[in-house]
Amino acid sequence: MNDATSTSYDRVAYPSVCHIDMHPSVIGAVAALCGHTAIPRENYRVLEIGCGSGANLMSMALAAPESRFVGIDLAPSAIAIANNVAASAGLSNVRFETCNILDAGIPKGPYDYIIAHGVYAWVPGAVRERMMRLSGEMLSENGVAVFSYNVFPGCRLREGLRDMLLSVTKGIEDPVKKLERGRALLAYQIDGWNEGDPYAAAMKMEAAAALKRDPYVLYHDELGECFEPQMLGDVVALARANGLDYLGDSHVSLMAEALFPGPRVESARGWTDGDWVKFEQMLDFTMMRRFRRSILVRAGKVGDRRFDPARLVGLFADADLTQDEPDAQKPEIATFRTPSEEEIKTGNPYVVALLKSLGEAYPGALDLGKYAREHELSEHFLDALVSGALTLRTRPLACTSQPGPRPLASALARAQAATGEMNVASIKGGAAKLGDAGIVAFLLLLDGTRTLDDLARAMAEKMRVSFDEAEARTPSVLAHLAKLGVIVA
């Protein structure tokens, strides 16, 4: 598309990704943990602003068939893809519209969840103001808005990179040539920067990270038309001017001090006068924060965020955990590991039992209601949550680890895979990376009509291997897909 209505996102598509930390079930759980327990948990209405080609919103619509979802985006090509995939997946509770945030045409609310991932700091100030005004007007009484954005001071280095990249790519219109030139500059500078100089060493690290990212992300971020990281304090000031307030961040790891205030809160008091937003702003300075996912609620709805076990009622937790063999030197300590090799060590027998049950139940979830009565246990549990190893939700996952005799993959994952997409929506909320064409072909067969024998026969034909070979591989591929969160039965 290259006519007058096409945008930079039509010329270079943005990778379509599902964001677990934007999912109503996950945001709702964090909001409830922070005391906003009246958050709607079913039959909710969701608006996603700047939804791109819709994978994120469709994964939510799949998980909550009784709820209604609307996605808007300025890029017509992205909306066309979203509508096509939604139709082939048979998702009747979601609709997508090409629409400019600045225009009056956004379908009227109220909405219980207003979501914008990667938009707020990628648009000019006037659009940001409009996003906040719309949210103030359209958010339901007990609803939440969640905006993710790049933040200062961490993103100052990225701004430095952007200056250099814009300088060497000035005047280049062709996206492929622009990206090639930009990436070549990064590689050149990485060799040239002297590690002995702390500034150069920091830039070197930043440039290496930029080179590792999907090139299309680099095109729309550092090389993009608008790259405007924010200060938390400014975001909250604009929210407050529009009848909203700041509740917390959808990454529970950022909420540790809010849930369990420690000496840090006291020691910063001289700078914050006890103001929570000023405190979090100070934390951003200390942590050199780069990204936030801010949860906003209606003014007057922010109460005491400190941990109260009663708030665990109606929440579920899941965790992909495996337990290490016991250490002969310290047999009383159990070590659990996440797939990304994060470790949780504990000697508390209650917590060991809890983490064991979580690992065994995965991708199923544990109902946390019973832990609400055991204060000590729930605090330990919260430690694990804050470490990022567990996901808290307002409803359990609808995927299974035990595929039935005629395995069924989610209709959305199949519809996405049919378009050639290698990263399909996981029911867990993130992206399921399929990895290779054989797995895509296998996934497409999982429509609930085939037995394991049928699947092996079909795969033997497709992949030109013997039936025995295909039959031997079938259980492990199926288990792999179940772990990715794409199998529903």
Ligand X SMILES: C[S@@+](CC[C@H](N)C(=O)[O-])C[C@H]1O[C@@H](n2cnc3c(N)ncnc32)[C@H](O)[C@@H]1O
Output 46 or 283, the one with its CB closest to ligand X: 46
Output 221 or 284, the one with its CB closest to ligand X: 221
- Pick from 44, 96, 120, 122 the residue near ligand X by CB under 6 A: 122
In DSSP terms, 433 is beta-bridged to: 423
Q: How far is CA 206 from CA 189, 193, 374, in A?
A: 11, 12, 45
Binding mask of the shown chain, residues 71 to 110, with x at each position contacting ligand X by CB under 6 A: -xxxx--x---------------------xxx--------
Output 130 or 450, the one with its CB closest to ligand X: 130
Q: How many CB atoms lie within 10 A of CB 8?
A: 16
Output 126 or 353, the one with its CB closest to ligand X: 126
In DSSP terms, 139 is beta-bridged to: 111
Binding of ligand X at residue 387 (CB under 6 A)? no
- Pick from 24, 35, 40, 52 the residue near ligand X by CB under 6 A: 52
Q: Is the bond leading into 198 cis (omega within 30 degrees of zero)?
A: no
- Pick from 31, 33, 123, 487 the residue near ligand X by CB under 6 A: 123
Shortest distance in whole angstroms from residue 98 CB to ligand X: 9
Pairing label, strands 423-425, 431-433: antiparallel
Q: Which stretch binds ligand X (CB under 6 A): 50-58, 155-163, 269-277, 434-442?
A: 50-58
Binding of ligand X at residue 134 (CB under 6 A)? no
Residue 114 CA to residue 98 CA, distance in Å, equals: 17
Shortest distance in whole angstroms from residue 20 CB to ligand X: 12
- Positive or negative, the CA dihedral 32, 34, 38, 43 is negative
For residues 49, 52, 58 and 64, what is the CA-based torsion angle, rounded to 10 degrees?
Answer: -10
Output 18 or 390, the one with its CB closest to ligand X: 18
Output 100 or 335, the one with its CB closest to ligand X: 100
- Pick from 89, 119, 365, 460 the residue near ligand X by CB under 6 A: 119
Shortest distance in whole angstroms from residue 46 CB to ligand X: 13
What is the footprint of ligand X within residues 389-408 (CB under 6 A)?
A: none
Output 51 or 386, the one with its CB closest to ligand X: 51
Nearest of 88, 44, 40, 87 to residue 65 by alpha carbon = 44
**Per-residue buried b or exposed e for 322-336, using 16+ beta carbons within 10 Å of the residue's own CB:** eeeeeeeeeeeebbb
Residue 133 CA to residue 483 CA, distance in Å, equals: 41
Sorted by sequence, the CB contacts under 8 Å of residue 247 that are 6+ apart come out as 31, 34, 36, 144, 295, 296, 297, 301, 302, 305
Q: Is the bond leading into 215 cis (omega within 30 degrees of zero)?
A: no
How many distinct helices (H) and strands (E) make up the chain? 20, 15
Binding mask of the shown chain, residues 12 to 41, with x at each position contacting ligand X by CB under 6 A: --x--x------------------------
Output 101 or 334, the one with its CB closest to ligand X: 101
Residue 376 CA to residue 382 CA, distance in Å, equals: 10
- Pick from 24, 28, 40, 50 the residue near ligand X by CB under 6 A: 50
What is the footprint of ligand X within residues 193-252 (CB under 6 A)?
A: 220
Shortest distance in whole angstroms from residue 183 CB to ligand X: 19
Q: Which residues bind ligand X (CB under 6 A)?
A: 7, 9, 14, 17, 50-52, 72-75, 78, 100-102, 117-119, 122-123, 127, 220
